[in-house]
Amino acid sequence: MSLTTAQAIASLLNDDDRAALHAIFGDRVRFDEPLAAYTSWKIGGPADAFATVESEAELAALMRHCFARALPWFVLGSGSNVLVGDGGMRGIVLRLGGAFAEIAARVDGDRVIVEAGASAGMAALTAKAASLGAIGIGSLAGIPGTVGGSLRMNAGTDREMGDFVHEVWVQSPLKPDPHPVTVQYYYRHTSLARDAVVARVTLAFERGDPKHVREEMQARLVRRKSTQPIALPNAGSCFRNPEGDKAARLIESVGAKGWRVGGAEVSPLHANFINNVGGATAADVASLLARVRRAVHDRCGVDLQLEVHLIGVFIDQAHTRDDEEK
């Protein structure tokens, strides 16, 4: 059975849900809140409810409500790896803040230990860790996400989050109180259960010379600036690198740099990035992703896999040829 567009975009919340969310979050819950402002692509329709969760107790209360009412929910970090559909998201979108943003870093013998809440920014975490000489932290520098999102994605470059994780604490509808879990790490994904919200993480690094570590990190940040369109709204690399190759190389080889659908453009600087160059919709980006994928499949025989997560309700994906050729 397929849903009509009207059904797909109708709020799932009733008055009791709204009252319960108000009781937990007060002013920190908004209804029918457009999500574009909370994503790095600046794209996305409204969430039935958007709540900023400031403590583990609030998260537990929310998880219990979602479980009791069988309501869908989604945890958003800084929205730098998601494409939210133009029809928005049903249920509750939550973003962590408050106590979840805390970071504490210390030297422990020949190691640097960093304890971070899931909403702490990777920029703050890498700066703190580098100042204590955390070896390898440069590989996580310049990733514009939160600790929770980066853990879920196993974000990184030559080295990844999982290489440094010591402990992960999560909360979920079935086990709302914070508890530690064991996670397996793979290329840009993990074994973390879909219904687990990362609450906090402990990372451990070997300790080196802070000056050397800071200089190496700075050099990587400079290189990133010259090779990635970091000033434009995008979500970083759209496709995962296939085994033994680079998605950007394949996309460039089919001549896709500069291809446009509506306000979405394949970056002329980095072929695996799609920029919102003005008023792009999720349908524009999805259509451009499909066009790039088709071209790489047809001309290179490689099936590119998405790295970005497509979430929510996608509507109106039909585009004319004229749009695509712009």
Ligand X SMILES: Cc1cc2nc3c(=O)[nH]c(=O)nc-3n(C[C@H](O)[C@H](O)[C@H](O)COP(=O)(O)OP(=O)(O)OC[C@H]3O[C@@H](n4cnc5c(N)ncnc54)[C@H](O)[C@@H]3O)c2cc1C
Residue of the chain from 53, 62, 114, 150 that contacts ligand X (CB under 6 A): 150
Site membership for ligand X, residue 277 (CB under 6 A): no
Site membership for ligand X, residue 201 (CB under 6 A): no
Q: Which of 90, 188, 260, 291 is catalytic?
A: 188
b/e burial code for range 154-169 (CB count within 10 A of at least 16 → b) = bbbeeebbbebbeebb
**How many residues sit close enough to ligand X to count as binding (CB under 6 A)?**
32
Site for ligand X in 15-74 (CB under 6 A): 40, 74
CA dihedral sign, ordered 222, 227, 229, 230: negative
Rounded Cα distance between 25 and 20, Å, is 9
| Minimum distance from residue 204 beta carbon to ligand X (Å) | 19
Q: Which two tokens stand for residue 253?
A: 């080889």
Sheet containing strand 73-76, edge to edge, reads 29-34, 46-53, 89-96, 73-76
| Minimum distance from residue 73 beta carbon to ligand X (Å) | 10
Q: Which two tokens stand for residue 149?
A: 């999102």
In the bound state with ligand X, the residue whose beta carbon lies nearer, of 60 and 143, is: 143
Site membership for ligand X, residue 77 (CB under 6 A): yes
Smallest CA-to-CA distance from 312 within 14, 43, 17 is with: 43
Active-site residue flag, 237 = yes
In the bound state with ligand X, the residue whose beta carbon lies nearer, of 162 and 210, is: 162
Site membership for ligand X, residue 173 (CB under 6 A): no
Site membership for ligand X, residue 153 (CB under 6 A): yes
| Minimum distance from residue 301 beta carbon to ligand X (Å) | 26
The β-bridge relationship of strands 46-53 and 89-96 is: parallel
Site membership for ligand X, residue 126 (CB under 6 A): no
Task: Return the residue matching tokens 């919340």.
Answer: 13
Residues 6 or more apart in contact with residue 55 via CB below 8 angstroms: 98, 99, 100
Half-sphere CA count of 89, side-chain side, radius 13 A:
27
| Minimum distance from residue 78 beta carbon to ligand X (Å) | 4
* Residues annotated as catalytic (active site), given as ranges: 188, 237, 307
Site residues for ligand X per CB under 6 A: 40, 74-82, 96, 118, 143-146, 148-150, 152-153, 155-157, 197-198, 228, 230, 234-236, 309
